[in-house]
Amino acid sequence: MIAATPPLRTASSSSSSPSSLPSSSSGSTFCSPIRRELAFFFNLGLGFSSPRTLALSASSSRMELVRKMGGGCFRSNQGTGCFGSDRGMGVLKVEADGGGEDVSDPSPWAVPDHLVIMVNGLVGSASDWTYAAEQFVKKLPDKVIVHRSECNSSRLTFDGVDLMGERLAEEVLAVVRRRPAVQKISFVAHSLGGLIARYAIGRLYEHSPKLEPTGLTGNSLSEEHKKYLVQGHEQPHEAKIAGLEPLNFITIATPHLGSRGHKQLPILCGLPFLERRASQTAHLVAGRSGKHLFLTDNDDGKRPLLLRMVNDSEDLKFISALCAFKRRVAYANANYDHMVGWRTSSIRRQHELPKKSNLLVIDEKYPHIVYVEQETMDDIHRKESLVVGGQTMDLEEEMIRGLTQVPWERVDVSFHKSKQRYIAHNTIQVKSYWLNSDGADVVFHMIDNFLL
């Protein structure tokens, strides 16, 4: 049981910005916690630094070190588990193959019909989801089967969002073929994995001809198609993902708007020269994925991939695929996430971020959930009317407008009082229970609100 904590209180700040939360960047331009974070990533070969540092980042030994530090798991005679877990993975059925691991209830009478795909982030692996997968199956034993994707692990996460999305789509199809009993599908993705999952569902999207007259016109949703989202986000049964009924699309600390400028990569403290340097060298650190995150890719003269992924194209229905899910949820760290900014992970403009006075614990059962916003189509139309008038649309604004053609639930998380706050990017996922246990209530919140 998670211990209840008193309402979260934030320190006062002289800044009038809505996002002026107590964070590691307050007090000085480059304070000690940020220095420690920078040093940590530099030493692992993941920082933007000298050619020698960049060379270290490409070595497989460094990548393995990052994975081991994030894994925190051990092997025993009872199976694989994590320190601090109240039960080992040996009591669950774990089936491994070349494309990941399926976690399910071993009971012979349990025939779950809901497939949950979990997708790791940069330099991650299936083991990042050990704790979350266990909790899903433990709390929903006869309802879900969890597949922890492994097709994009470690250095493969440098290959680019498009290639990784194609691999994930193929992996999902293979799982569905092995599981003829499943009828529903949901995605839960962390960090870069959220972008990979968004690409994959665009590839996996299926619809019947019946939808076409009321579907998409050009590159955006028609008004008639949007009506399917009103009244409880109901969807026509013809919209499928990998032939299954799509229910939940959940991202956790995902850089939906990329990492380019505007403090979207908080470890750089918003310093212009560091942000410019990061855009110039990201491909040296993270390959094609770095280009995609910083919107510097122009393959065959095309627009940056993240810009293309906020609308439908001829062969990939990105926004229609998102529209097909009954729920789209964005969990975001409101502070202390040094890798993914609050705006990019919650798909908001700066002025739309909740004020710090509103960031209070809303349920003692979930002490780190501090704000929940459920968007409707009326909210979308109201925002459109406020931002259209005469503004120059930059890349970030274009992505926000594209992604918010459909409503999102936004869940803001704060580890302000946690000793694990400086590793909030991993704690929100509970990447390793013995390092990130304070994020357990976020996992429970996800499960308790999961649409079955």
Token match 């193929």: residue?
A: 170
How far does Cα 16 stand from its chain's mean position?
A: 29
Q: Looking at this protein, which amino acid is placed at residue 333?
A: N
- Tokens encoding 152: 């994009």
Partnered with residue 241 across adjacent β-strands are 205, 244
Q: What is the dihedral of CA 127, 131, 134, 140, to 10 degrees?
A: -130
- Which of 1-15, 249-263, 348-362, 432-446 bottoms out in mean pLDDT, i.e. has the lowest? 1-15
Give the C-alpha separation, 198 to 23, whole Å. 30
pTM across the whole model? 0.76
How far apart (Å, rounded) are the C-alpha atoms in residues 198 and 319? Answer: 9
Specify which residues 328 forms β-bridges with.
249
Q: How many whole angstroms separate alpha carbon 354 and alpha carbon 156?
A: 36
Write phi, then psi, for 345 (nearest 5 degrees): -80, -20
Rounded distance between C-alpha atoms, residue 87 and residue 378, angstroms: 45
Q: Tell how strand 184-190 and strand 114-119 pair up.
A: parallel
**Tokens at 433, concatenated:** 């229970």
Using alpha carbons, list the distances in angstroms from residue 375 to 312, 389, 408, 411. Answer: 22, 22, 6, 11
Better-scored residue on pLDDT, 168 or 34:
168
Of the listed ranges 163-167, 217-221, 282-286, 309-313, the one predicted with least confidence: 217-221
Q: Which two tokens stand for residue 155?
A: 């250095």
Q: How far apart are CA 126 and CA 133, in angstroms?
A: 10
- pLDDT tens digits, one per residue of 287-325: 999 999 999 999 888 999 999 999 998 889 999 999 999
Which domains, ranges and CATH numbers included, belong to the chain? 33-448 (3.40.50)
pLDDT digits (tens, 9 = 90+) for 128-177: 999 999 999 999 999 999 999 999 999 999 999 999 999 999 999 999 99
- pLDDT band at residue 37 using 50, 70 and 90 as cut-offs: very low
